[in-house]
Amino acid sequence: MKKSIIVSVVAMLFVGCVPQPKPSIGLGVGIGSSVIHSEYGQPPRNYRVAIRNYFSAKLKRGSTARYAFSTPKRAYKRKGLVYGGDVSWKGWRVETSVAVPSRTGREQRPRNYMVLFKGEQIVEDILGNSHSLLVKVDP
């Protein structure tokens, strides 16, 4: 019985203690672009080239991959809780799908990445369409 209480308490602690990101931190729709840019900076212009170059260097066979890009959208990301959980990046994300051929040359299903920009610089890429610590200001 004692053990079951401990198991449930631990489960509840995990559910209760981890702070939920607050989407409201982002600027609302309709606010002037100059204010948006002071928060998030200018959206990247040459993001397609930057992302291709980035993944060509990072992924095996990345230079022969097929790419598809969204337009830049605002987002921010928190640090991992072990590092304090503060907002560590605020900028523009480009949702990118990358179809890298397998080592036998077989065409593979594309993988989705969120590529995070600060100005024209790529800060980080995140595999997948979501991350618990990343908040999409623009959906």
Partner 1 sequence: MANFNTHFSVAAGASAFVSATLLSMEVVSPEQAVVAFGLGTLGGLLPDVDSAHSKSIKVGFNVLTLLITIMLIFAKSATYSLVEMTLSSVVVFVTIRYAFLELFRKISKHRGMFHSIPVALIWGVVVAILAQWFFALNSLVSWVYGFMIIFGYLVHLILDELYSVDLGGRRMKKSFGTALKVGMFKTKEQQIHTAIIYVAIPLLFMMAPETTMLQESLFSKEAWLTFLDIVLPYDGKWFFH
Rounded to a whole number of angstroms, the minimum distance from the CB of residue 38 to partner 1 is 26
Expressed in angstroms, the distance from the first to the final Cα of the chain is: 46
Are residues 73 and 61 in contact, defined by beta-carbon separation less than 8 angstroms? no
Rounded to a whole number of angstroms, the minimum distance from the CB of residue 120 to partner 1 is 23
Q: Which is nearer to partner 1, 38 or 102 (CB)?
A: 102
Name 113's bridge partners: 96, 127
Q: Nearest CA to 47 among 39, 55, 38?
A: 55
Distance set, CA 80 to CA 19, 77, 133, 139 (Å): 11, 9, 7, 22
Chain contacts with partner 1 (rule: CB under 8 A)? 1-4, 6-8, 11-12, 14-15, 18, 60, 77-84, 102-104, 106, 108-109, 111, 126-133
CB neighbours of residue 124 within 10 Å = 16
Q: Which is nearer to partner 1, 49 or 87 (CB)?
A: 87
Q: Which is nearer to partner 1, 4 or 24 (CB)?
A: 4
Rounded to a whole number of angstroms, the minimum distance from the CB of residue 15 to partner 1 is 5
Q: Which is nearer to partner 1, 111 or 118 (CB)?
A: 111
Q: Which is nearer to partner 1, 15 or 29 (CB)?
A: 15
Structure tokens that stand for 48 in this block: 């397609």
Rounded to a whole number of angstroms, the minimum distance from the CB of residue 46 to partner 1 is 25
Longest dimension (CA), the chain: 61
Rounded to a whole number of angstroms, the minimum distance from the CB of residue 45 to partner 1 is 27
